[in-house]
């Protein structure tokens, strides 16, 4: 199986950088984006399996970005990242088509498991469409 | 309001009530008393007036009768007939059969010679020529004397009538039994303290007086003018002091003789009925006052008690409102802080993770402190996890989540929750005593959240006991039947009194740094508030604490 392609979207650049570095080290092709619009732009050119999307961002927030992603790239799976600790926000995201949500600070191995599962689902959906 | 304030208010209510009820009562009592005594006084005076009037008339009639009787005798009999002692005796006896008013009777000729006499005294042949009454009679034709001693040396008075028979003038004279006359004056005394007597123009007693003395005593009291005699309303009523008493005195001049009839009455005696009535009224007023005072006191007390109760309820409500608004504010603050802290925590954790990732690639030979760096990175991760536990609990505390609505058996829930901690309790040699009331109804609430509350409190109980002790868990129904409860009593260290108010505040903890977040009870409080329940604490330092969780039955 080829490497999972993951796009992480967060307004905090340091976090995005760390995330990209760490996932690249774990046999994942990770890309980063600093905002919703930037993520959408990346998605137009790069094939991405899973988007890890921060819920709270200035400007276009997580939910709006999620809606837009789901509209333009329905097959791309999204995992919401929330620092709010509230299940509500996570559930709201899931209501808009997110695959899962995870609370900050997270365990990287745990997130990796979820990413892989999301990617499997995406593969399944692609197969069904084909 | 403090105790003093309540006391003041109570006194104020009492005073107002008493003034408004006692003043009319007193006014009414005083008015009734005034009217009653006035009426009674008037009645006494009218009675006295009538008595004086009647007595005066009776006396006048008595004297008139005597005079006319003597006149009849004198004019129906000749001098010859009456100067014969035997005949005079016979006539005297006939007169006396009707009334024993006379003591004796005599005939006196124009020279003052006592020619005939019937009576108990030996007055025959006494000459009255120089006596003042003799001249009066000869002058006026008839005469009623004042009381005098006369020849008999005994107080008496006489009635004399004169007849001219041809060229002879003679006088028929009779002595009035002063005893009979006096009794007529005295009549029926109105009371034991009253008095009645006759007095002449010089103030000399004509009949004995009980208070002033025997007959012939000279009185010093002022007499009303004799000019009033003969007037229709000749009766004079006045009050005057007699022997350190105030008497009501009624006076009237007789019409036949210049004698003043005096009748005295002691108003105190006459008023005894009034006094009795007044003392009954006074007793009733006193009873009324007592009743009013009792009523006012009871009313004031009941008002104050209601006020105290209302104030207490208000204070309790204020306190609970303050507590819940404090909780809401702290919840928001906690959630905000946690959220802001979470992002840097994530970065710290990821950075440490990155270090660990990178260390994997390093050559252990070339790196001097590789192992130590790895340990340090692990420690960073570990402590971030600790911080994460805090922030997640803070977020949990601040979260306003819609509670679930499930049918919950509190007994079952308690039982299940106890299972989580059984091994821990066993390990610490803590006995768990269950006293579950099987009759309590189920309620609708959020099972998971209630479990969290029970778990938190049980956890605290185990920590409070430490080891070797007991925890008693009991369930039951509250007294009013609208709540069920689970009570968790431990034999632990207890909570100092001054800390009881703060144990539900967030971040209040007695545990060592790192062992507790101080959020457990705050979360419990928040959960119960959201679910319509409440939690109560009783604690005695050194003996243990009891936390009772109340849930509404719905």
Q: How many CB atoms lie within 10 A of CB B542?
A: 9
End-to-end CA separation in angstroms for chain B:
37
Query: Which residue did the predictor score with more confidence, B259 or B190?
Result: B259
Any CB–CB contact under 8 A between B510 and chain A? no
Give percent above pLDDT 70 in chain B: 92
Helix (H) or strand (E) run with residue A45 in it: helix A36-45
Give the closest-approach CA distance of A124 to chain B in angstroms: 31
Q: Which chain A residues are closer than 8 Å to B354 by Cβ?
A: 18, 21-22
Over range B328-346, report the average pLDDT: 81
Q: Do B339 and A103 touch (CB under 8 A)?
A: no
Q: Do A85 and B335 touch (CB under 8 A)?
A: yes
Helical ranges in B77-198 per DSSP H: 79-83, 85-98, 132-140, 178-186
Residue B137: both structure tokens together: 């009679």
Q: What length does chain B have? A: 554
Q: Which chain B residues are closer than 8 Å to A86 by Cβ?
A: 395, 399, 401
List the beta strands (DSSP E) in B398-477. Answer: 406-408, 430-435, 443-445, 469-477
Residue B97 has pLDDT above 90, yes or no: no
Q: Which DSSP string corresponds to B284-351?
A: HHHHHHHHHHHHHHHHHHHHHHHHHHHHHHHHHHHHHHHHHHHHHHHHHHHHHHHHHHHHHHHHHHHH
Give the DSSP letter of residue B511: S
Query: Which residue did the predictor score with more confidence, A124 or B392?
Result: A124
Residue B476 has pLDDT above 70, yes or no: yes
Q: Do B354 and A21 touch (CB under 8 A)?
A: yes
The strand pair at B443-445 and A28-33 is best described as unpaired
Q: Do A18 and B354 touch (CB under 8 A)?
A: yes
Q: Cα–Cα distance between B218 and B143 in angstroms, integer?
A: 23
Q: Which chain A residues are closer than 8 Å to B339 by Cβ?
A: 83-85
Q: Do A105 and B399 touch (CB under 8 A)?
A: no
Any CB–CB contact under 8 A between B347 and chain A? yes
Q: Cα–Cα distance between B508 and A112 in angstroms, integer?
A: 38
Q: Cα–Cα distance between A21 and A29 in angstroms, integer?
A: 10
Largest CA distance in chain A: 39
Residue B435: both structure tokens together: 């006293």
Residue A92 has pLDDT above 70, yes or no: yes
pLDDT for residue B245: 76
Q: Give the three-state DSSP class for B37.
A: helix
pLDDT for residue B294: 93
pLDDT for residue B377: 92
Residue B366 has pLDDT above 70, yes or no: yes
Those residues whose C-beta lies under 8 Å from the C-beta of residue B321, and which sit 6 or more positions away, are none
pLDDT for residue B521: 84
Give percent above pLDDT 90 in chain B: 11
Query: Which residue did the predictor score with more confidence, B510 or B497?
Result: B497
Q: Which residue of A has its CA nearest to B337?
A: A84
Q: How many CB atoms lie within 10 A of CB B512?
A: 7
Q: Which chain A residues are closer than 8 Å to B391 by Cβ?
A: 85
Give the DSSP letter of residue B213: B
Q: Cα–Cα distance between B348 and B356 in angstroms, integer?
A: 12
Over range B512-537, report the average pLDDT: 79
Q: Cα–Cα distance between B490 and B480 in angstroms, integer?
A: 26
Q: Cα–Cα distance between B113 and B170 in angstroms, integer?
A: 10
Q: Which chain B residues are closer than 8 Å to A15 by Cβ?
A: 343, 346-347, 350
Among B346, B354, B396, the residue with its CB nearest the CB of A104 is B346
Residue B316 has pLDDT above 80, yes or no: no
pLDDT tens digit sequence for A26-62: 889 999 999 999 999 999 999 999 999 998 888 888 8
Maximum average pLDDT range among B33-47, B140-154, B315-329: B33-47
* B398 pLDDT tier (thresholds 50, 70, 90): low
Q: Cα–Cα distance between A76 and A72 in angstroms, integer?
A: 9
Q: Do A15 and B401 touch (CB under 8 A)?
A: no
Residue B488 has pLDDT above 50, yes or no: yes
Give the DSSP letter of residue B158: E
The strand pair at B102-109 and B168-176 is best described as antiparallel
pLDDT for residue A66: 92
Cis omega before residue B259 (within 30°)?
A: no
Is pTM beyond 0.80? Reply is no
Q: Which chain A residues are closer than 8 Å to B355 by Cβ?
A: none
Q: What is the ipTM of this complex?
A: 0.82
Mutation to test the B interface, candidates A28, A83, A87, most B Cβ within 10 Å: A83
pLDDT tens digit sequence for B291-304: 999 999 999 999 99
Q: Do B392 and A87 touch (CB under 8 A)?
A: no
* B233 pLDDT tier (thresholds 50, 70, 90): low
Beta-bridge mates of residue B406: B445
Question: HSE (CB half, 13 Å, CA atoms) of B95?
Answer: 25
Beta-bridge mates of residue B161: B142, B172
Q: Backbone phi, then psi, for B308, in 5-degree steps?
A: -60, -45
Any CB–CB contact under 8 A between B81 and chain A? no
Mutation to test the A interface, candidates B345, B346, B391, B395, most A Cβ within 10 Å: B346
Q: How many CB atoms lie within 10 A of CB A81?
A: 26
* B512 pLDDT tier (thresholds 50, 70, 90): low
Q: Which residue of A has its CA nearest to B361?
A: A25
Average pLDDT value for chain B? 83
Q: What are the Cα distances from residue B327, in Å, to B308, B341, B440, B504, B529?
A: 28, 20, 31, 9, 10
Residue A87 has pLDDT above 80, yes or no: no
Beta-bridge mates of residue B116: B107
B272-361 helix and A13-25 helix, angle to the nearest 10 degrees: 50
pLDDT for residue B400: 47
CA nearest B441: which of B478, B470, B393? B478
| B404 close to B413: Cβ distance less than 8 angstroms | no
Sign for the CA dihedral angle at B343, B348, B353, B358 comes to positive
Q: Please give the radius of gyration of chain B, using alpha carbons only, rounded to the nearest integer.
A: 60
pLDDT for residue B401: 47
Any CB–CB contact under 8 A between B449 and chain A? no
Cis omega before residue A105 (within 30°)?
A: yes
Given 3-state DSSP classes, what are the helix, strand and coil percentages for chain B, each rounded to the nearest 5?
A: 50, 20, 25
Q: Cα–Cα distance between B91 and B81 in angstroms, integer?
A: 10
């Amino acid at each position: 199986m080829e490497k999972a392609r993951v796009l992480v979207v967060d307004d905090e650049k340091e976090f995005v950088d760390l995330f990209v570095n760490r996932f690249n080290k774990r046999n994942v092709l990770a890309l980063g984006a600093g905002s919703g619009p930037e993520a959408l732009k990346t998605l137009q050119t790069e094939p991405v399996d899973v988007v890890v999307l921060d819920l709270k961002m200035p400007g276009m927030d997580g939910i709006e970005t999620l809606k837009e992603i789901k509209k333009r790239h329905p097959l791309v799976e999204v995992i919401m990242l929330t620092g709010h600790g509230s299940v509500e926000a996570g559930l709201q995201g899931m209501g808009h088509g997110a695959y899962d949500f995870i609370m900050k600070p997270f365990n990287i191995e745990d997130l990796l498991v979820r990413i892989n599962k999301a990617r499997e689902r995406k593969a399944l959906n692609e197969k069904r469409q084909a | 309001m403090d105790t003093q304030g309540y006391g003041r208010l109570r006194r104020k209510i009492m005073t107002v009530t008493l003034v408004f009820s006692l003043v009319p009562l007193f006014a009414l009592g005083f008015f009734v008393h005034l009217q009653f005594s006035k009426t009674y006084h008037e009645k006494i005076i009218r009675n006295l007036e009538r008595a004086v009037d009647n007595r005066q008339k009776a006396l006048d009639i008595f004297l008139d009768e005597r005079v006319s009787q003597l006149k009849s005798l004198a004019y129906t009999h000749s001098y010859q007939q009456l100067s014969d002692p035997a005949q005079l005796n016979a006539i005297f006896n006939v007169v006396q059969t009707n009334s024993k008013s006379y003591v004796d009777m005599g005939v006196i000729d124009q020279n003052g010679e006592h020619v005939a006499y019937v009576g108990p005294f030996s007055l025959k042949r006494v000459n009255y020529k120089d006596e003042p009454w003799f001249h009066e009679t000869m002058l006026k034709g008839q005469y009623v004397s004042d009381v005098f001693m006369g020849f008999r040396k005994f107080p008496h008075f006489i009635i004399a009538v004169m007849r001219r028979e041809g060229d002879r003038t003679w006088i028929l004279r009779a002595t009035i039994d002063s005893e009979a006359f006096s009794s007529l004056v005295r009549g029926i005394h109105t009371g034991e303290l009253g008095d009645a007597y006759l007095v002449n123009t010089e103030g000399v007693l004509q009949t004995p007086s009980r208070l002033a003395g025997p007959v012939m005593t000279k009185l010093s009291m002022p007499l009303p003018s004799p000019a009033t005699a003969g007037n229709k309303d000749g009766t004079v009523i006045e009050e005057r002091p007699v022997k350190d008493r105030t008497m009501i005195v009624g006076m009237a001049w007789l019409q036949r003789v210049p004698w003043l009839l005096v009748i005295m009455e002691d108003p105190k005696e006459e008023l005894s009925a009034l006094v009795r009535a007044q003392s009954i009224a006074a007793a009733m007023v006193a009873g009324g006052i007592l009743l009013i005072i009792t009523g006012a006191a009871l009313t004031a007390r009941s008002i104050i008690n209601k006020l105290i109760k209302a104030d207490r309820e208000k204070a309790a409500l204020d306190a609970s409102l303050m507590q819940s608004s404090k909780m809401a504010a702290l919840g928001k603050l906690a959630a905000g802080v946690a959220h802001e802290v979470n992002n840097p925590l994530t970065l710290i954790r990821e950075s440490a993770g990155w270090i660990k990732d990178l260390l994997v690639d390093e050559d252990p030979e070339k790196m001097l402190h590789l192992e130590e760096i790895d340990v340090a990175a692990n420690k960073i991760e570990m402590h971030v996890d600790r911080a994460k536990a805090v922030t997640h609990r803070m977020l949990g505390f601040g979260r306003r989540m819609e509670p679930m609505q499930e049918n919950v058996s509190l007994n079952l829930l308690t039982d299940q929750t106890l299972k989580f901690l059984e091994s821990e309790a066993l390990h610490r040699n803590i006995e768990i005593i269950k006293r579950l009331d099987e009759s309590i109804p189920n309620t609708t609430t959020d099972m998971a959240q209630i479990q969290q509350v029970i778990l938190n409190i049980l956890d605290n109980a185990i920590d409070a006991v430490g080891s070797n002790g007991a925890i008693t868990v009991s369930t039951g129904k509250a007294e009013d039947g609208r709540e069920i409860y689970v009570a968790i009593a431990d034999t632990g260290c207890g909570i100092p009194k001054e800390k009881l108010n703060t144990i539900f505040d967030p971040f209040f903890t007695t545990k060592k740094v790192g062992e507790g977040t101080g959020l457990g009870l705050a979360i419990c409080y928040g959960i119960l508030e959201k679910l319509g329940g409440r939690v109560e604490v009783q604690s005695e330092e050194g003996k243990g604490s009891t936390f009772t969780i109340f849930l509404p039955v719905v």
